[in-house]
Amino acid sequence: MLTDINNNKANDNKTMTSNLDVFQPPTFINTDDGNINILQLTDLHLYLDTSTTTSGINNHQSFVACLNQALNEDRRCDLILLTGDLVNEVDTIIYDRVFALLQQTGIPFACLAGNHDVTDEIDNGMSFEQRQFVAHNADPRLLSRHRIALNNWQLLLLDSSVPGKVYGSLGNKNLQWLRQTLANCHNPVMIAMHHHLLPMSSAWINAHITQDSSDFWALIKQFPQVKAVLTGHVHQNFESSKQGVAVYATPSTSYQFQPNQDEFGLDTEAKPGYRWLTLTAEGEIDTWVTRIAE
Ligand SMILES: [Fe+2]
Ligand SMILES: [Fe+2]
C-alpha cells in the first residue's frame, strides 16, 4: 500500500492545537488488488472523563472496543473514516486522545465534524427546549472540502456542521467546491459528511437533517459519477438510495437511537457498531454493518 501524505490545514476559522504540526491527512491511497477497504466509525460522543457512560455504555471504552474488533477482523483496512460527533464536550484533550489512538494503528485516517464537535449542549439532561447551545470552532484536524484519491475512486469529505446548531447545512462554499470538484472528476465518487441527507421515519431526527439537502440532490443529479453518500448523526443503520445514489448511515460506536419513532428515544437493545465499505476496482461498493460482540 502506498500512502501519500499532504499537509492540509484547510478548514476555515480553526484554532491551532499542539498536535496539529504532526497531523497530515491522506490525499491518495493505492492498493495492489484494486480494492479499497474503508472502516467507518461514527458518533463516538467522547467525554473528557473516560469513565462517563450513556445509557449504561462507557462511550470511550465502546469506541476503543469497536476499533479493536474491526481491526482484528481478517480484513485489510486501508482507511479509517470518522464521520463526526467525535466528542460530547468540545475539548482539545479529547481530540488529542482520539488522534493518538488512530495514529497508533498505522492506518491512514480522516475525521469530519458533527454538530457536537462545534456545539456544547449545556444541561443536556433537560429537554431540547430547555438546553443552551454554545457555538465552538471545530478542531483544525477535522477535515472539510478534502479529497482523497482511492485507486480509481474519489472520496470527497464535506463539513455539514453549523456552530451552535444541531441541524446540518452545507452552505454555498461547500456546494460550490463540490460542483467544481465533480466537474473535474469523472471517476466514481463517494461523498462523506456528518448530517443525513434523506428523511428517516422519525420526526425528531428529521428536524436535524441537512437543511439544504434539496440543493445537494439537485447538484448531484448533474454528476452520475457520484455512487454513494455516507453519513453518521442518526445513530442507527440506514441503507437507501435516491437518484441512483446509494445512501448509507451507520450505528454509533456508543448509544443508538430508537428507529421509526417520532419522539426521541434510545434503542437499548441495539449494540454499538461500525461499517465496512469496499470500493472495488470495477466501481462497485460492498458494504455492511457489524455490531460489537458482548
Ligand atoms: Fe451523534
Ligand atoms: Fe450528530
CATH of the domain at 106: 3.60.21.10
Alpha carbons 159 and 191: distance in angstroms, whole number: 11
274 part of a folded domain: yes
12 part of a folded domain: no
Number of independent structural domains in the chain: 1
8 part of a folded domain: no
| Cα-to-centroid distance, 87 and ligand 1 (Å) | 9
For 81-107, give the secondary structure using H, E and C.
EEECCCECCCCHHHHHHHHHHHHHHCC
pLDDT of residue 14: 36
17 part of a folded domain: no
| Cα-to-centroid distance, 214 and ligand 1 (Å) | 22
Sequence-ordered strand ranges (E) for 162-256: 189-192, 226-231, 238-242, 245-249
pLDDT of residue 122: 84
pLDDT of residue 146: 98
Tens of pLDDT, residue by residue, the chain (294 residues): 333 333 333 333 333 344 555 678 999 999 999 999 999 999 999 999 999 999 899 999 999 999 999 999 999 999 999 999 999 999 999 999 999 999 999 999 999 999 999 999 887 777 767 778 999 999 999 999 999 999 999 999 999 999 999 999 999 999 999 999 999 999 999 999 999 999 999 999 999 999 999 999 999 999 999 999 999 999 999 999 999 999 999 999 999 999 999 999 999 999 999 999 999 999 999 999 999 997
174 part of a folded domain: yes
78 part of a folded domain: yes
9 part of a folded domain: no
CA of 168, nearest ligand number: 2
* Residue span of the structural domain in which 243 resides: 36-291
| Cα-to-centroid distance, 51 and ligand 2 (Å) | 21
6 part of a folded domain: no
C-alpha cell at 72: 482484528
CA angle, residues 290, 144, 266, in degrees to nearest 5: 40
DSSP annotation of 194 reads S
For residues 166-202, b (16+ Cβ closer than 10 Å) or e, as one string?
bbbbbeeebbebbeebbeebeebbbbbbbbbbbebeb
CA of 235, nearest ligand number: 1
Alpha carbons 38 and 192: distance in angstroms, whole number: 12
pLDDT of residue 23: 72
pLDDT of residue 15: 35
pLDDT of residue 180: 98
| Cα-to-centroid distance, 277 and ligand 1 (Å) | 20
Alpha carbons 46 and 41: distance in angstroms, whole number: 13
β-pairing, 273-279 with 285-291? antiparallel
pLDDT of residue 7: 33
